[in-house]
Structure formats: C-alpha cells, structure tokens
C-alpha cells in the first residue's frame, strides 16, 4: 500500500473518527495524519478467509467497478457499523498505512460514536478497536467531540448548538456543562442527497447516472438557495430512451429542486430541536448562534437558509471534515477532559 503516511511516530496513541464517508486519524504530537474514504476492498478466497486488497482512496476508486470475487464496500451505513469484522479490517489497514515500519504497540485509542449509540453497539465498537490492536478504548459522542473541535465553550454553563451533516446522518445537539442536553438525528445526510439527485435526473431526463456522479454534481453546483447566477454541469451516463451512453447538461436550479426534501428535513429537525431547548439555553443560542459542521455543511448557501429559517446566526466551522477528529484529538491529548465531563473509566462496561 502507499507509504505517504509512513511516519516515525513519537507517540503511540491515536484518535479516530470513523465516519460513514470518511475516516480520520490523529496521532498525539503530530495532528491529523490520515483522512481517507471509509471504503475497503476485500476478497474471500472460497471459504471465509478475508483478504484486504485496498483501503481508503484506492478502494473508493473500485466502488461499483469490481468483478465477482472482489467487493469494494462502505462498511458503515447511516453512521452505524454494518459489519464489525470488515470494519475491524479497515481500522487495522488504516493503522498499518500510517505506521508501516514500527507498528503501533497497543495504542490507546479515543473514538467518536454517534450520539444515542446503544450500550450493545458501544461494546461492539470497543471490541472492534481492541481486535484492531488497541490497548485501551475511550468512546466519546460525536456531538461533544465536534463542540470541542469547533472551539465551543463546552464545559461552561452556556448553551451551544451543533449541527453535523455527515454522509449517513445529520445530528443536532444542544450542549452545556460538558454534556448533551438534547440531541436528535435523522438518517438524512450526503448519501441521501446523492440518491435524490440520481432519482431526479432519472425521472426528469430519463438519464441514468451513478452515485459518484451524483455526488460530483452536488459538490459542483448543489445549493440550498438560488445563487447569483445559474451554474451548469455536464454529466455522463446512460440515456434510458436510446439505451446508450451519452451526456446531459443540468443546472443549479435542477439540483436545488432535487435536494428540496432532504434540505427541508434537516431544517425541520433543527427547528424542532430549537423548540424543545430549555429557555435559558435558548437565550444563549441567540447570542452564540448555531454551529454547522460535517462535509454536508459545505452545500452552498445551506448556512444562509438555516439563518433565514431560524433567525439565528449560523457559523460554518473552518474545516467541517476535521471538526470531530480535532475534538477527539483534544480528548486524547488530555484524557482528564473525560473525567471532567463525567465519563466512566474505560474498564467499566458501558
Ligand atoms: P462522515 O462523518 O459521515 O464520514 P463527512 O463529514 O466526512 O461525513 O461528510 C461527507 C459528506 O459530505 C459526503 O456525503 C459528501 O458528499 C459531502 N460533501 C463534501 N463536500 C461537499 C460539498 N462541497 N457540498 C455538499 N456536500 C459535500
Ligand atoms: Mg462525521
């Protein structure tokens, strides 16, 4: 595998954000050392033996293009681990990528998990990390990690709202005094947006595209409110009338129409959460606003739409892909934070 991540590591401890779309790894004293798609390509020779062929970017290129014996998969769906064995292999492969020479000797690991992860799921995540070689595993809710990574005063008695739009889910949390006061999530995120674009183009233009193309459209000309000028994008796919490959030009208004339901669902969830926020904390939010993060937050003008719909300032974090991993890194650098916010020791079953 590529050696661009090979490092002489001074520390042995890691923070990991295992996202539906992307995995990031932070090494103490080094910062973020890996950010790659959460994709793994595997083959199973005859029986059950699982062989890893590629991971991350290399595996992403294989998605939808593999022969029968190989599968390129995204083992985390909607923010939930679908196959623990495969996720364990993916984690081990990522760790191998960042330290090929020395090999991590039983690192301590801080990992983020979606808010509302059940105790059974937590145990499974912890066991997956242990099986990938960790000595000690600390789990922290993604929203809390995001609040830390965004530089919010998460320990103080003041309310902050964080909205994290990932690939599989959107999570909104109100945080105060180092804890999550309330939190909601929906299974609407970047993946559902891609699917909506794909379906819209199929319905409206009788034209079939893959989900990778749909994502490219979203990133290039996606928007939640009209932009000053209309942008166009030329796509390749299959014309469903003639049955042969062709090209089609779509514009930014098409994409906004395609995404309307997903965007409305996200806005609605934020509004409902605001309605249920205790009044003292609501008052804090008027001053502090809403912090928007996760890759999906990069959808053009989504921050403006949320401002219009809530009347509150909406602040996009400077690097929405890194907010959660930076928070996990802060925890790794100072495990005492966990005690201060009342986390139980890792040995306790949770
Ligand atoms: P996760 O935490 O689930 O791994 P990320 O926070 O890494 O997710 O965000 C990934 C999502 O962000 C993907 O669905 C991707 O398509 C989307 N995304 C990335 N860039 C943009 C953009 N410019 N506009 C809209 N969505 C984007
Ligand atoms: Mg995420």
Q: How confident is the chain (350 residues) per 10-residue block, as mean pLDDT?
A: 46 90 92 95 80 95 86 85 88 86 77 90 91 92 95 92 96 94 96 98 97 96 95 96 95 98 98 96 95 98 98 97 97 86 52
- Nearest CA owner, ligand 1 atom 26: 296
Per-residue confidence (pLDDT) for residue 5, from 0 to 100: 54
Alpha carbon 115 to chain centroid, angstroms = 13
- Strand, helix or coil for residue 98: helix
Alpha carbon 17 to chain centroid, angstroms = 8
Decide: 325 in ligand 1 pocket, CB within 6 A: no
Q: Answer whether 14-144+324-340 and 153-188+263-320 agree in fold.
A: yes
Per-residue confidence (pLDDT) for residue 80, from 0 to 100: 77
Per-residue confidence (pLDDT) for residue 1, from 0 to 100: 43
Class assignment of domain 14-144+324-340? alpha beta
| Backbone CA torsion sign across 10, 12, 13, 15 | positive
Cα(171) to ligand 1 centroid in Å equals 14
Determine if the pTM surpasses 0.85. Answer: yes
Question: In terms of C-beta distances under 8 Å and separation of at least 24 residues, what long-range contacts does 207-215 make, across chains too?
Answer: 207/235, 207/237, 207/238, 207/239, 207/240, 207/246, 207/248, 208/237, 208/238, 208/239, 208/240, 209/235, 209/236, 209/237, 210/64, 210/237, 211/64, 212/63, 212/64, 213/237, 215/190
Both structure tokens of 235: 């796509």
Both structure tokens of 25: 């790894």
- Delimit the domains of the chain by residue range: 14-144+324-340, 153-188+263-320, 190-260
Both structure tokens of 22: 């992307």
Per-residue confidence (pLDDT) for residue 90, from 0 to 100: 94
Where is 53: in which H helix or E strand? strand 50-55
C-beta of residue 28 within 8 angstroms of C-beta of residue 13: yes
Q: Which of 111, 112, 190, 215 to mutate to test the pocket of ligand 1 (most atoms within 8 A of CB)?
A: 190
* Interaxial angle between packed helices 260-276 and 302-310, expressed in degrees from 0 to 180 and rounded to the nearest 10: 40
C-beta of residue 230 within 8 angstroms of C-beta of residue 221: no
Decide: 298 in ligand 1 pocket, CB within 6 A: yes
Architecture of the CATH domain 190-260? Alpha-Beta Complex (3.90)
Q: Does domain 153-188+263-320 have CATH number 3.40.50.1820?
A: no
Cα(332) to ligand 1 centroid in Å equals 25
Decide: 146 in ligand 1 pocket, CB within 6 A: no
């Amino acid at each position: 595998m590529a050696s661009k991540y090979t490092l002489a590591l001074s520390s042995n401890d890691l923070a990991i954000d295992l996202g539906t779309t992307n995995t990031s790894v932070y090494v103490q004293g080094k910062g973020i050392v890996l950010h790659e798609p959460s994709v793994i390509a595997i083959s199973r020779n005859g029986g059950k033996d699982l062989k890893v062929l590629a991971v991350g970017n290399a595996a992403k290129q294989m998605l939808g293009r593999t022969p029968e014996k190989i599968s390129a998969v995204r083992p985390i769906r909607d923010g939930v681990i679908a196959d623990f064995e495969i996720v364990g292999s993916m984690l081990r492969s990522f760790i191998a990528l960042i330290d090929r020479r020395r090999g991590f000797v039983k690192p301590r690991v801080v990992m983020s998990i979606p808010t509302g992860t059940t105790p059974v799921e937590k145990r499974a995540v912890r066991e997956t990390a242990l099986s990938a070689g960790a000595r000690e595993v600390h789990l922290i809710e993604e929203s809390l990690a995001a609040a830390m990574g965004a530089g919010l005063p998460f320990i103080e008695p003041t309310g902050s709202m964080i909205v994290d739009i990932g690939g599989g889910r959107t999570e909104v949390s109100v945080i105060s005094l180092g804890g999550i006061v309330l939190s909601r999530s929906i299974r609407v995120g970047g993946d559902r947006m891609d699917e909506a674009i794909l379906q819209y183009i199929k319905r409206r233009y009788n034209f079939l595209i893959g989900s990778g193309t749909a994502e490219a459209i979203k990133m290039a000309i996606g928007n939640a409110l009209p932009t000053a000028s209309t942008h166009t994008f030329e796509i390749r796919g299959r014309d469903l009338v003639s049955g042969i490959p062709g090209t089609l030009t779509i514009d930014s208004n098409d994409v906004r129409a395609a995404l309307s339901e997903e965007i409305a669902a996200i806005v609605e969830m934020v509004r409902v959460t605001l309605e249920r926020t205790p009044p003292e904390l609501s008052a804090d939010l008027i001053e502090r606003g809403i912090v928007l993060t996760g890759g999906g937050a990069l959808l053009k003008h989504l921050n403006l739409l949320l401002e219009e719909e809530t009347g509150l300032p909406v602040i996009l974090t400077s690097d929405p892909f890194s907010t959660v991993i930076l928070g996990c890194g802060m925890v790794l650098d100072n495990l005492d934070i966990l005690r201060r916010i009342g986390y139980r020791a890792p040995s306790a079953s949770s």
